[in-house]
Chain A
């Protein structure tokens, strides 16, 4: 069991999301930075898709009521336990009655707290992910609040071994390196309506920086920068959109759709962020600048497979180290 002492800015329970219900208009949700989410779970011996806490810019304070094993991945929100700073990207033993706190946001925007055994919440349509606008999943479909009591699940054999190891060899310093997010270049694929835009707009998209505006949340980021104009106004029929779709509203500003996007949209899709660069975006916040680069679908899918291999390697390395 753990108790939320302070909830932070926007902390929710997330897993990889709610799949299979988009045809009924049900939003997918899930961790914004799915890479950090998966690695945090692997580090504590969990299955990759175990529910965790996603926190945003200001992290929560959490008291643990029993000895626990945790890992924090993603943005650096200055985690500490009972006042002592703790490392990210590695399993950490937390003694009963200690309090985990977060401080200054030094890097990135979102951190993931995985607890071995996972956070136990009722599944809604096959997922624990919180969708606040639809009041679905997580703790009563809302952000975490002070006083919330979260139940921790049973530890599997691997988790027990990691906990034992970390508890006895706490000084050993190893970690999984996490992504750096200073002025990243986000790679794109051409969207379905790319050719409806003027040549000038197409080249502005890849040659000019864009700034993330204050309208940036789990649903999507509105960008400011050069206006992207269509050659002529075209009425679009609503169709499916997905995470990373870049739509352009009639005033010429691009919006990148993210985890809590609607299932369908009717604005022209100029581009699509490649899947493996979505974690970079998840770690960006308002006022951050982003630059884009265009690659091909073949390249994106080869990179996708490489990233999956990298995650599989981390998984295997953890299993071997603690076997």
Chain B
């Protein structure tokens, strides 16, 4: 295992497990996260997994940087890197098009597809949640088909409603909270992604797999009413 350590200021260390986005490096990131969650050393404040890194925050009155690197190297030697990955599969219902997905037609046109074909392609894959970042509960999803790729909008919208599902380049994602943004918006989910009063405040976690399922406007309204 090729591990590199880099300081992130005087209170954090970046542990790098690779240079490119791919499922194997992602699995290694997940194994480190899982280990740190199950056996948290008392000097760790918290950690943030990303595409190829796990950043560990620590208190420099307890340990200096060099000591932290040594401790981490030692801890990580306990990980069996070929362990099989366990993950959750989360279904996200989406009402595509119409008022909720004003750019669905656009995405279809760009790719010479019908609207139904775009929906079919978007819902036929399993996506990896590589990391959560950018906004509370926002998943960076990997694995979208290039057949439905679409560039960002030239003029970003000032407000994209919470729970909107969008496409930007080769990426697809879901906005947990209302934000400005330039993504092509293709639908909306009735499910909350950011749950500030829950112990785990994010519906999705790094390592999860996501499947989108199409729902009708009626189903959407029903589900929206019953959401907690």
Contacts and interface: CB of A to CB of B under 8 A. Distances in A.
B159 to A, nearest CB: 13
User: Main secondary structure on chain B at its contact with chain A?
Assistant: loop
B206 A245 contact: no
B137 interface: yes
Contacts of B206: 23
Contacts of B7: 189, 192, 272, 297
A177 interface: no
Contacts of A263: 48, 132-134
Given A239-B53, A301-B64, A272 B8 contact: yes
B149 interface: no
Interface of B: 6-12, 14, 21, 33, 45-53, 55, 57, 60-61, 64-65, 131-138, 140, 176-177, 194, 196-197, 200-202, 205-206
Contact of B137 (A25, A297, A300): A25
Contact of A274 (B9, B33, B52, B202): B9
Nearest to A303: B10
Contacts of B21: 237
Given A125-B201, A264-B50, A242 B12 contact: yes
A272 B33 CA distance: 25
A244 interface: yes
A34 to B, nearest CB: 12
The size class of the interface chain A forms with chain B is 35 or more
A53 interface: no
Contacts of A192: 6-8, 14
Contacts of B137: 24-25
Contacts of B50: 237-240, 264
Given A22-B57, A25-B194, 17 more contacts: A21-B46, A23-B48, A23-B206, A25-B135, A25-B176, A25-B202, A27-B136, A125-B196, A189-B9, A237-B21, A237-B50, A238-B131, A242-B9, A245-B9, A272-B10, A274-B10, A301-B64
Given A125-B196, A189-B9, A305-B61, A24 B136 contact: yes
Residue in B47, B50, B200 with the greatest tally of chain A CB atoms within 10 Å: B50
B10 A297 contact: yes
Contacts of B57: 19, 22, 242
B48 A275 contact: no
Nearest to B55: A240
A135 B194 CA distance: 12
A141 to B, nearest CB: 9
Contacts of B49: 23
B136 A238 contact: no
Contacts of A189: 7, 9-10
Interface in A14-41: 19-27
B11 A242 contact: yes
A198 B12 CA distance: 26
A25 B133 contact: yes
A308 interface: yes
Contact of A19 (B46, B60, B132, B196): B46
Contact of B51 (A125, A237, A300): A237
A223 B131 CA distance: 29
Given A25-B137, A125-B196, A134 B47 contact: no
